[in-house]
Amino acid sequence: MEAFIPYILKVSCILALFCGTYLLFLKNETFFKFNRYFLLSGILIAIALPCVEVTRYVEIESVVGTTMFMNNFPNTFAASVSAKPIDWSQVFFIVYGIGVMVFSTKFIIQLVSLFRMVDGNIPRKFGDYYYVETSLDIAPFSFFKYIFYNPSLYTESELSAIIKHEVVHSSQWHSADVLFAHLITILTWVNPFSWLYRTCVKQNLEFLADQAATKESVSLSNYQYTLLKVSGNQYCTSIVNTFYNSLIKKRIVMLNKSKSNNKNLLKVLLILPVLAIFLVSFNTKEIYIATNSESDTSWVYENPEKTIKIVIDKNMTDKELKELKKDLADKGIDFSYTVVHNSKNEITSISIDFAAENNGSQTKSSSSFNNDDQPIDPIHIVYNPDTNSISMGNGKKYAYRCSSGQRPYGVGEFR
């Protein structure tokens, strides 16, 4: 879940970037075929690019007797584990999940309604296409190889223009674009740009079909008249290619617009440096390589934000230790301990067994801490799931353990 939320945010940002580019530079141009591939590329890049990481290695020279990684880690896991604040990321994930379920259900219902329309009528096959005649008062539409229309609502010439338009949709597989746009909208429904993006995809497909259909039409004015006539019919469903949509005026304007200059396509190149900046700024994975100038000992540390950091001090109660054990168990970590308290309920001795498994590699670390019947010094435990390594110490000496089969990287002091 922690990784999924940033992924959705990155997808939304890329969609917004492509949507803004289309609205600013391409919406009023006649590059309908190019626009189709541009918008489809935006969806594919939005899905794939957040998964691409640029690795940057940062080399740090370590100093014997100091703890490099403890200076990098704030003590965020304190003893008071009982007071848990609201996890807003979990709240967001729940609300997001409900939205995905609602829109997915609506999407499935729309698909089922289309199949019922096919079953409720007898499709007639002509060439590669299936023509479904219905008595419903709806605008003509197509869904892949199926073309739906009510023949009683139009004249023969009007119906011919409509069929040509829908055949373009079917032959060029525009329904796949529409479904793809719907799915990305469901995935990123919290992003208003995804809804606008879907509208842009469908609108451009109508421009593309209009352009192809009018090349075969005898009269452009008759075709435009047909558009106006069909606009009075009821709209069917949002997952199909329909002959009518609410932007009739815009479609007529684009039909009469002269061909755009190819030089205008150069403006789209502006999006490339922006994508590069996005990749470097938000998808850079830093790997810290610490080297000891006096020995060949070195260690690698990845992604500090994923590291689990624990501090156990003398005032930690049995209840808090049990809650800590339960919390770590939820993360797949086995935390066992034996503890001794004095009369003031302060910890004077504690033995800890810490075991974790990641990607099939198991790491274990065991240590005992006492202070000659005096309260213990704070014990620091750091677990890095990326390198599957554990460090454990009480402010004096610590041991650094890595996954089984590898040697410990070294011993140092907490400062």
DSSP assignment of 264-291:
GGGGGGGHHHHHHHHHHHHSEEEEEEEE
- Which phi and psi (to 5°) does residue 257 adopt? -80, 140
User: Domain check: are 383 and 297 in the same one?
Assistant: yes
Same domain, 209 and 306: no
Q: Is residue 154 part of a domain?
A: yes
For residues 47 and 76, state if they share a domain: no
pLDDT digits (tens, 9 = 90+) for 194-241: 999 999 999 999 999 999 988 876 578 888 888 887 766 655 667 777
| Range from 35-44, 108-117, 139-148, 386-395 carrying the lowest mean pLDDT | 386-395
Same domain, 93 and 198: yes
Do 313 and 384 fall into the same domain? yes
Please check whether residue 266 lies inside any domain of the structure: no
Does some domain include residue 278?
no
Question: In this structure, are 114 and 231 located in the same domain?
Answer: yes
The model's confidence at residue 411, banded by pLDDT at 50, 70 and 90, is: very low
Cα torsion 365, 366, 372, 376: sign = positive
- Identify whether 275 is part of a domain: no
Residue 379: strand, helix, or coil: strand
Which DSSP category does 80 fall into? -
Number of domains in the chain: 2
Please determine, for residue 339, whether its predicted confidence score (pLDDT) is greater than 80. yes
Distance CA 271, CA 288 (A): 32
Q: Are residues 126 and 255 in the same domain?
A: yes
Q: What is the CA radius of gyration of the chain?
A: 32
Cα–Cα distance, 129 to 150 (Å, whole number): 16
- Average confidence (pLDDT) over 295-316: 64
**At 128, phi and psi to the nearest 5?**
-90, 0
111 and 213 part of one domain? yes
pLDDT above 70 covers a percentage of the chain that reads 78
Query: What rounded mean pLDDT belongs to the chain?
Result: 79
Asked whether residue 19 is domain-assigned, the answer is yes
Clarify whether residues 165 and 132 are in a common domain: yes
Same domain, 65 and 119: no
d(CA 131, CA 198): 26
Same domain, 63 and 42: no
Cα gap 384→301, rounded to integer Å: 8
From 260, 276, 308, give the residue that closes a domain.
260
- Cα–Cα distance, 181 to 22 (Å, whole number): 15
Query: Is there a domain that residue 94 lies in?
Result: yes
Asked if the structure places residue 276 within a domain, the reply is no
User: Could you read off the pLDDT of 150-201 as tens digits, one per residue?
Assistant: 898 888 888 888 899 999 999 999 999 999 999 999 999 999 999 999 999 9
pLDDT tens digits for 252-262? Answer: 888 888 888 88
Residue 127 lies inside a defined structural domain of this protein? yes
- Domain residues for 149? 4-52+86-260
CA distance 140 to 233: 9
Final residue of a domain: which of 243, 260, 277? 260
Q: Count helices and strands (H / E) in the chain.
A: 11, 16
SS3 54: strand
333 and 184 part of one domain: no
Torsional class of 290: left (φ above 0), alpha (ψ -120 to 50), beta (otherwise): beta
CA dist 75 and 381 (Å) reads 10
Sign of CA dihedral 258, 262, 264, 267: positive
- Kindly report the pTM of this predicted structure: 0.65
